[in-house]
Structure 1
Amino acid sequence: MKRSLAGIFAALLMTSNALAADLAPVEPVPEMPPEVTVTETTGWYLRGDVGYGFTDLRGARYFQGSNDNEVDFTSADLRDSFTVGGGVGYQVNNYLRTDLTLDYLTKADFHGSTTGECGSPLEPCTSSDRSSLSAWNLMANAYVDLGTYGIFTPYAGAGIGGSYVKWNNLRNVACQDDGGGCDDEVTHKGKGNWRFSYALMAGTSIDVSCNVKADLGYRFLHVNGGSMFGYAENGGPGRDKGFNVHEVRAGARYLFGGCQEPVAYEPAPAIPLQQPVYK
């Protein structure tokens, strides 16, 4: 009897060991780190701007008398003006963007004076000269965004292009310095021409929404010199030496597709647990 029980117990023990050997171990599934997708803001945008420009005329010259003697205006001042414009651009990445802009410098009044002789007999006299100019500025620009701090993104930029400057007719009246009288008013036909220009910009963009950014900045615009007015009544033609515009600007940019949210976290696909294999 004891031998029978011992034999049964040994048989059960052998069977249990065999089943345990046939049971394959379950490998632990490693936890995958979350997948982070880094996206950049890119795409086309439209922009619009308005500004106030403090203009600085670099001087003006004209031919005096028989047109063989070019002299400077005694005084030449260009008054301030407004600008309005727009453009289309492309955001290359989070740090670089470019655009093509066209803006209009509204009428800036010119006040000047010259000295010479007038009247009969000839006496020393001073003329009062009045005109105005306006300009279209076509510029290709590039900007470097200097990082984003909250909703603010400061930037610096530069542009190059051309300006079509249109001078209105210049009217001048020469009066004797001793108060003896004035000559009749003389009108010189204004000139218009394209000129080389360049710009330097700095400012900050402000996030308004996912695809709208406000823009506050400063622009320095330099326009080369060119023709100013023609010949009339033994005087002229004249030319200006160019001018600078120190401009305070405000505007907005609309970025197409700017509301596409980047994928910040994407969980790894679920991997089914490995089932035990019995042999």
Structure 2
Amino acid sequence: MKSINASLIAGAVAISIAGPAAAADMPLPVYKAPVAIQTGGWYLRGDIGMTNQKVKELTSPDPAFAGVSVVQKEFDSSMLFGLGIGYQFNNWFRVDATGEYRGGSTFTGLDVWNNGTGLNRYEGIKSEWLFLANAYIDLGTWWCFTPFVGAGIGVSRNTISNFVDFNMIPPNNALGYSNSHSQWEMAWALHAGIAYKINNNFTAEFAYRYVNLGDAATNDLIGYNGANAVYNPILFNTITSHDFKLALRWNLSPTETIAPIAMPAYAPPAAYNPPPAPVYAPPPPLMRKG
């Protein structure tokens, strides 16, 4: 019986000693670094797309053109290629400056004159260099997709080349041609599209753009024999285009902010007070029967 009581006392002492040691070995709360949120930065962009262009009207300073009725004035689609640099201020607003080459678009036209007895056919090539400063509003992000709208303003260098004018009515069958002519015009654009964030550095973009390229003109039309009695270039008034573009944006230097994370307050463990040692009570003496 004494050995059993001694074992109980030893166990109680061991528990009282192990208690403070276990408390001392408890791990402290692990601090988890806050998440960095990308909110902006410089980016480069590259664009490729297709144009769908129109011209409002064709005119000429030649007084005889007043009696001409233009019945066809069409451009073929052409490719566009652009580069730009921009800055994203936050999740909602960004700006960029872009330059692009708009490849040669074939123009065909047809007019009638002299009460329908005259018929002219036009052919030519139009191309541009377009430079825009743009601002965009990103409308929020869902599953990495961000719709946006924007506007831009800038200049366009419009070129008409390889322009010829065929008189289609015999016996004239005359031919006029023009040397290439370029001019700078004010341009503006409206944008709408959707962007997809591939990762923290790359964003793909599909966009529609309406752009007003201003005016263009041919050089003076010259007869096939090199003679011309009147100054009669063809003026392309108000050229517009509906463009569809694919772009890739490369984020160069993201601006990062630290998202605040509420950390639980750490309370140190209470001081250990060992339980009182059990009081040993000797067993009562055995009673012997006489």
Q: Does 1:130 align with 2:126?
A: no
Q: Is the 8 A contact 1:44 1:89 kept in 2?
A: yes
Q: Is the 8 A contact 2:120 2:167 kept in 1?
A: yes
The aligned counterpart of 2:243 is: 247
Cα distance in 2 for residues equivalent to 1:270 and 1:234: 96
Identity of aligned residues (%): 24
1:100 aligned to which of 76, 97, 102: 97
Q: Does 1:220 align with 2:210?
A: yes
Measure how far apart 1:223 and its partner are: 1.3
Between 1:151-160 and 1:52-61, the stretch displaced more is 52-61
1:57 aligned to which of 51, 55, 69: 55
Q: How does 1:18-37 map to 2 (within 5 A)?
A: none
The aligned counterpart of 1:164 is: 157
Say what the alpha-carbon RMSD is for the aligned residues. Answer: 3.2
Q: Give the residue type in structure 2 aligned to 1:91.
A: Q
What SS class does the counterpart of residue 194 from structure 1 fall into?
strand
What do the CA deviations read for 1:105-163 (whole angstroms, capped 9, x no partner)?
Answer: 1111111123346xxxxx93211111111001100000000000011011111000010
What SS class does the counterpart of residue 149 from structure 1 fall into?
coil
The number of equivalent residue pairs is: 236
| TM-score calculated relative to the size of structure 2 | 0.71
What do the CA deviations read for 1:80-106 (whole angstroms, capped 9, x no partner)?
Answer: 111110100000011000000001111
Gaps of 5+ in 2: 1-28, 223-227, 273-290
The aligned counterpart of 1:202 is: 192
Measure how far apart 1:225 and its partner are: 1.7
The aligned counterpart of 1:76 is: 73
Please identify the structure whose Cα radius of gyration is greater: 2
Q: Give the residue type in structure 2 aligned to 1:43.
A: G
2:112 aligned to which of 110, 115, 126: 115
The aligned counterpart of 1:27 is: none
Q: Does 1:186 align with 2:176?
A: yes
The aligned counterpart of 1:120 is: none
Q: Does 1:42 align with 2:13?
A: no
Cα distance in 1 for residues equivalent to 2:173 and 2:103: 32
| TM-score calculated relative to the size of structure 1 | 0.74
